Chain A
Amino acid sequence: MMKLFFISIFAYSLTLSTPVKSAPPEEPVESILCRGYSAVGFSYEWGGECWCSSGCDPDLNNCEAGICTVNDGATGCPECTHSGTYGADCSGFVSKAWQVPDTYATNQCDVARYTAASFTADHEYWNVIPMNTLSPGDAVASSTHVILVTDSGDDWGNYEVIEAKGCIYGIVNQVRTFSTSYSGARRINLTDCNCEEGEIQTENCGDCGTTERRCVGCMWSEWSSCEGPSPTPEESCSPENGAQGECARGTVLCVAGFRTCQGKLPSTEICDGLDNDCDGIPDNGTPVSLGEGYKCSNECGEGTSLCIDGVLKCNIPDTGTECTVEILPEPTSNDGCSCNFNGNSGRSEAVFIIFLIIYLIRRKILNVQNLNIRNL
């Protein structure tokens, strides 16, 4: 009952807290964003609307952030207590960032502000806008919450925002999505000309990237994605302690504006003396991937293919190493291949050369797909 009483008083005070109305200042969107960013890190205070700024940054050196504590058995405000001078709830935060209903300094506490629900309908200081036209400085609101939007949305349709999220979170800067239950709002008196048409600004970002924005229709566009070229000439690197085999060999790339070491990726283990699948052991693939177990022949007789020291050789039982020599596959059927010792196949040289050419062509093609010709 007591709780309801306090909620009623709070709601009543909120509706009454808008007596002084002067139009919000003519200013660029950047001024709204600047006030918004300067609140990040301050506490959530139910009914609060003040924090300390140092330019666009929060001034947490000269002002305490405040502490919001949820009462025992509760999960959030208004069943909470706040200590410290500064803090804001969602609507107090947006009201101050928007400078409505008046141009109060960010560190002025107990001043007039609106409730979240106020932002869901047209007002003399703002207009409701479709949710698919949000841009920086706009607000999205429901009957219980309001959020300041700080970008135009990412490639997936999520937005960077600042919001006084709740007692256990404080005022946070995050990327989030909105349901269509929210509605958008845009403040009036935004100066609609911030730059000269065609002007381009470029900034460094990350540690190898650049980003730029263009002046379109007198307004700055969003900053482009942070990207940059990878180092030339190529720089080698070690991607990870413990990476094995081919995966231990890396190249420095510039990805999303950051230098990163991209190791070689594991691939099918083939008979080449390398640890292609990065398990620490070279040439330990399956007989199929290595090309082992197929019939082959040479001047010593008939045998089966075997991967030895990174080379596929024809292994003739009960013969010496001089007979175990490298073989070239010669596909003759779907279920394997017969292999000939080059130079003494019993076939004409012309036939051998044709097969060799076919093999080399197919091997080149299949290497691109990380497949093994011996699988075919």
Chain B
Amino acid sequence: MKIINVLILLFTLTPAFPGHSVVSKNSDIDLSLEWDTQVSRFLGNESDSRGPASFCPKTDGGKLILDQENFRILEFDSNNTYSGYIPLPSSTFNYIGQKNDEYIILLDTLVSQAMYILNFHGEILNEIDLEGRYIPKSGFITGLLTGDDGIYVEISHRYSVRILNRNMKDVKRTIVRGRIVSGYSSVICSFSGNSINISRQPYNSDNHSKTKRIFSANTINRIIHVQDYTNGTVIIFSEVEFSKSYPYAVEMQRNTIVFLNRNLEEKARFYSYNMLGLMDQKTEFTVHTDGTVHQMYYGETGLEFYSWKRGEI
């Protein structure tokens, strides 16, 4: 009888989602850069508006910001202190990545339709045409990804194409279903209503035994980002509720950041209320290997950066 009582007590004390914590507010701002003086944007008039299209974390904890309208990459150290800029040959780049704080990878998917490899002095080391095998239209690229075995681009969130090997040399292209992550694995995601299906498997394996469903309180509008960190995977999605009547205004919206472990079990959840604006933005979130999620947000007065870390829960 005593054992039964203890079991009942344990059962009632167990939370519905063990280890699931929620912080329902934006993090403190990490970095702010004033529009038109520190960082540039273009406000369209019968055309698209543009701000810094992309950013990426550096291995040392700093970040690179693609300030393409100013023909430069801004470099910040781990304390968010400006440490210089790297000149760019054009203003049409729309993705940035880096490897080992040694190589910078840039994509220009719409104009030159090429990938550029630069060193941190801005010297172009290699230029590769994107369109070709597995990439019929470079405009369909939806991600620049660094994998265990090289550099990939993602096409329409359907598959990843390997462009460079781990030594940053051109390779005979190969293709992996889904978005590549760490451990020679890829994830495949889709959403419907208020849930997301996510599966993780070794490259091109038919074994989808690791499949999970993630739920949200509201209707999911889009999946924004999926990326691994050392201890798991982070998935970020947008929840939106529209009014049912004209003009179908937004009634609520937020970005949801979910930390999963290697078995895709949810470990933590945060919300960001900094939503995508009218300026075209290719990279909204990135994840550092230490598990810190960074958001680049087009604020009213400037470009703002926020971060969330699983370890802070």
Contact = CB atoms under 8 A, between A and B. Distances in A.
Interface in A73-103: 75-78, 89-92
Contacts of A121: 247
Contacts of A298: none
A47 B47 CA distance: 11
A145 B48 contact: yes
Interface in B137-151: 137, 139-142, 148
Q: Could you say which interface size class chain B belongs to?
A: 35 or more
A180 B190 contact: no
Nearest to A165: B48
A69 B176 CA distance: 39
Contacts of B238: 157
A179 B274 CA distance: 11
Query: Which of the four size classes fits the interface of chain A?
Result: 35 or more
Interface string A226-242: 00000000000001111
A183 interface: yes
Contacts of B109: 174
A166 B49 CA distance: 9
Contact of A116 (B46, B50, B174): B46
Contact of A129 (B69, B158, B248): B248
Contact of A77 (B45, B140, B159, B202): B45
B156 interface: yes
A169 B110 contact: yes
Interface string B71-114: 00000000000000000000110000000000000000111000
A166 B42 contact: yes
A128 B246 contact: yes
A99 to B, nearest CB: 19
Contact of B47 (A76, A130, A175, A266): A76
A169 B92 contact: yes
A91 B46 contact: yes
Interface in A297-322: none
A132 B39 CA distance: 33
A174 B139 CA distance: 4
B142 A175 contact: yes
Contacts of A184: 248
Nearest to B42: A75
Task: Please list the 9 inter-chain residue pairs (A to B) with the smallest Cβ-Cβ separation, ordered nearest first.
Answer: A157-B222, A174-B139, A155-B190, A179-B276, A130-B248, A166-B47, A256-B159, A156-B223, A260-B175
7 contacts: A131-B242, A145-B278, A154-B156, A166-B50, A169-B110, A255-B204, A260-B204
